[in-house]
Amino acid sequence: MQRGWIEVVSGVMFSGKSEELIRRVRRAVIARKRVQVFKSHLDDRYGGVYRIGTHDGRQIEAMPIHRSVQVVESVHRDVQVVAVDEAQFLDHGIVAVANHLADSGVRVIVAGTDMDFRGEPFGPIPELLAVAERIDKLQAICVVCGELATRNQRLIDGRPAPAEGPTIQVGGSESYEARCRACHEVPPVDRDQTEFLTGDRRDG
CA dist., res. 117 & res. 1, Å (int): 42
Is 114 known as a binding-site position? no
Is 14 known as a binding-site position? yes
pTM above 0.85, yes or no: no
Is 12 known as a binding-site position? yes
Question: Any idea which architecture 5-198 has in CATH?
Answer: 3-Layer(aba) Sandwich (3.40)
Q: What value does the mean pLDDT of the chain take?
A: 87
What pLDDT sits at residue 32? 97
- The 3-state DSSP class for residue 45 equals coil
Looking at the predicted structure, is the pLDDT value of residue 41 above 50?
yes
CA dist., res. 32 & res. 157, Å (int): 47
**Helices and strands: H and E segment counts in the chain:** 5, 13
Domain-wise residue ranges, the chain: 5-198
194 to 97, 124, 153: CA distances (angstroms)? 40, 29, 20
What pLDDT sits at residue 201? 45
More confident residue, 54 or 29: 29
Q: Catalytic site residues?
A: 86
Is 13 known as a binding-site position? yes
Q: Is 92 within 8 Å of 124 (Cβ atoms)?
A: yes
For 191, other C-beta atoms within 10 Å of its C-beta total 8
Looking at the predicted structure, is the pLDDT value of residue 8 above 70?
yes
pLDDT, average across residues 10-34: 94
Q: Tell me, what amino acid is at 131? A: V
Is 165 known as a binding-site position? no
Confidence tier at 162 by pLDDT (50, 70, 90): confident
Q: Is 134 within 8 Å of 140 (Cβ atoms)?
A: no
Looking at the predicted structure, is the pLDDT value of residue 54 above 70?
no
